[in-house]
């Protein structure tokens, strides 16, 4: 992959993660959790992302232990 393409891909990934984190911060309840009303593909559309981009960004955020959750409930992990 050419360097410019790799940078663009990395930048797009960060933007997807930023959109997810922003949504969780602004829409989270008192416990910081967000329960999605529909499927992830619908949420991707709300965030302006393709479903595949959302799935990859969620996987990265989980792997980095920045978010947690089960089913349709997600939350930002609190620093310990």
Q: Does domain 3-76 have CATH number 1.10.8.50?
A: no
Contact (Cβ atoms closer than 8 angstroms) between residue 33 and residue 72:
no
> What pTM value is reported for the model?
0.79
Q: What angle do CA 54, 45, 59 make, to 5 degrees?
A: 10
**Digit-coded pLDDT (tens) for 6-52:** 444 445 557 999 999 999 999 998 888 999 999 999 999 999 999 99
* Rounded Cα distance, 15 and 9, in Å: 10
Residue 36 and residue 43 in contact, taking contact as beta carbons nearer than 8 Å: yes
* H or E stretch covering 33: strand 33-35
Q: How far apart are CA 3 and CA 44, in angstroms?
A: 27
């Amino acid at each position: 992959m050419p360097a410019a393409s790799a940078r663009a891909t990395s930048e797009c990934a960060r933007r997807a993660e930023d959109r997810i984190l922003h949504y969780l911060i602004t829409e989270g309840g008192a416990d910081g959790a967000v329960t999605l009303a529909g499927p992830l593909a619908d949420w991707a559309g709300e965030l302006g992302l393709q479903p595949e981009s959302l799935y990859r960004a969620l996987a990265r955020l989980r792997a980095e232990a920045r978010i947690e959750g089960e089913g349709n409930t997600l939350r930002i992990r609190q620093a310990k």
